[in-house]
Chain A
Amino acid sequence: MRIPKRFQGIMFVLPALFVLAMLVFYPIVYTVVLSVTDPAGNYVGLENFRSMIDARLTARAFWNTLIYVGFSIIFQVLIGTAVGILLNNEFWGRGAVRALIVVPWVIPGIVAATTWAWMFHTEFGIINYMAQSAHVIDQPVGWLTNPDTVLPALITVNVWKMFPFVAIMVLAGLQAIPNDLYEAARIDGARKHHEILYVTLPHLRPVLMSITLLLAIWGLNAITIIYAMTKGGPANRSLITPIQIFRHAFEFFRFNEAAALSVMFFGATALLMTLYIRIYAEKD
């Protein structure tokens, strides 16, 4: 028996779609159902949403999420782009350097988190020791226990872990820029920084756009580093929305409220996704 030609394509695609539907779309629908019911399954309207919105923690977590993801992206893209441009130069050992710098990105997030937690240790951490030796600070700083330093410290770890991804993508984008463009610019008397400003960066724009959105989505997803280093503390100063959802569900066992928060969180990220799909479709 031969399958009619117009059904062949869908037959290949169907198993993967089925699995994703069961694992992704069914849970999404189920979240919505959970969010408007109580633990006994009775319909309660928007009660769960109201109690989550009224909780002061929700606003705090939302704000923390914005700061954490926003500043992470800014530094990831800036440093990653600079490193990508740097690695596009020809120098001895370039292949090895390119391979090495990607290692922070491929190791488990939990390893990055614990290693940096040890480096940030207040009494015995190497960072306090080096900063004191260099007279940057005169007292040991409790990087992860001080409410004012905890988010910057976590952002540092996140940037360290993710900038290699940006660098590799930017490097790939750079190598797609035809060489004649640089030559033409040089003939017109352009200096190195002119080349970067007027040839390199404009060509990188589409790559940078899609990287930024990917980073935003991954950043909104990233629980591991914060959960392992501070669990959201001190005094909820590093609590981000994904961790709030996690704690509501698995520490307080309030699944319905956690589901309401998930729906709101999903709504916010859906906006980003639409944007991404738009850009993706344009390139097609």
Chain B
Amino acid sequence: MTARSRSLSVVYLMVALLIAVSMFPFLWMLVSSFKRLNELYTVPPTWIPETATWSNYLNVLLESNVPRYFLNSLVISAGSTAIALVLAILASYGFARFRFRGKSLSISLIIVGQLLPTAAIIVPLYVVLNYLGLLNTYLGLILAYLILTLPLSVFMLISYFKGIPVELEEAAIVDGASRLGVLLRITLPLSLPGVVAVVVYAFVTTWNEFIFALCFAMDSSTKTLPIGLAEFTTEFHTDWGAVMAASVIMTVPIAILFLAMQRLFVGGLTAGATKG
């Protein structure tokens, strides 16, 4: 064996180990979701369900609140993503193309927003939302989620806008277009990959969020999917089959969305987070 092929087989061995460690929990989740209760509670555990069943999935989809929570999650994530996108496009364009007084202060404020520990603002946010009558409403969570999505969206788009040649815009400005018109007709269409990355990032973040949802949505008309998953676990009993089925249901859309968009998403995120 030559040195080169030996080092290549070491690489393959380590990659196999990496895949095993990363993927095993998903495999086990999938296997468990098709087991009946008595098979879940057997020692030694079986690697392939002996009597595979859809009953856990039917239980989650028909007997629980999960479908309603799915709808809630969809409305809240879409709403928050849309608002974050509009605000982030405007702000990033301002930061990328203009010099103005207080610019570096404004950027610092947005970084603080990004880095702020959510735990430190749960309490006041609860009080404020309560005062505004926004607890247990879609709007309340949509607004709260802007804290999570807006800052990083701004940074991702700044680096994207900076990569687009100013000369393209200048020609249009000479022709009498307004800056907003230039942004909407020239810069934005060219930045479509960046915009998609922001949309995916914001949607996934809000879709996954747990603590704000736990604190600000206590009613089943506004609870989101992550809360629904937690509800299968009570202090005395956990329906593991249902939990695993619900986990699969929550993982699949996110995994597909991500795998479909991963090139854009990872590229945009590395640009936004390290300002590469």
Contact = CB atoms under 8 A, between A and B. Distances in A.
Contacts of B93: 12
Contacts of A169: 270, 273-274
Interface residues of chain A: helix, strand, loop or mixed (majority): helix
Contacts of B255: 103, 106-107
A103 B26 contact: yes
B244 A118 contact: yes
Given A24-B116, A124-B41, A169-B270, A10 B21 contact: no
Contacts of A129: 43-45
Interface residues on A, range: 35 or more
Interface string A13-42: 101110111011111101100100000000
A262 B270 CA distance: 30
Interface in B1-58: 7-8, 11-12, 14-15, 18-19, 21-23, 25-26, 28-29, 32, 40-45
Contacts of A245: 119-120, 122-123
A115 B43 contact: no
Interface in B205-259: 207-208, 210-211, 214-215, 225-226, 229-230, 233, 240, 243-244, 247, 250-251, 254-255, 258-259
Contact of B94 (A10, A19, A119, A269): A10
B146 interface: yes
A262 B119 contact: yes
A121 B226 CA distance: 21
B258 to A, nearest CB: 5
Given A34-B124, A86-B11, A109 B179 contact: no
Interface stretch (A52-60, A145-153, A214-222): A214-222
Interface of B: 7-8, 11-12, 14-15, 18-19, 21-23, 25-26, 28-29, 32, 40-45, 87-88, 90-91, 93-95, 97-104, 106, 108-113, 115-128, 143-144, 146-147, 150-151, 154, 178-179, 204, 207-208, 210-211, 214-215, 225-226, 229-230, 233, 240, 243-244, 247, 250-251, 254-255, 258-259, 262, 266, 269-270, 273-276
Interface of A: 2, 6-13, 15-17, 19-21, 23-28, 30-31, 34, 83, 86, 89, 91, 93, 97, 99-104, 106-112, 114-116, 118-119, 121, 123-124, 126, 129, 133, 160, 164, 168-169, 172-173, 176, 192, 207, 210-211, 214, 217, 220-221, 223-224, 227-228, 241-242, 245-246, 249-250, 255, 258-259, 262-263, 265-266, 269, 272-273, 276-277, 280-281, 283-284
19 contacts: A6-B101, A8-B179, A11-B94, A12-B179, A17-B91, A17-B109, A20-B150, A21-B109, A97-B19, A103-B26, A115-B25, A118-B240, A123-B41, A124-B41, A173-B274, A242-B117, A266-B120, A269-B120, A280-B275
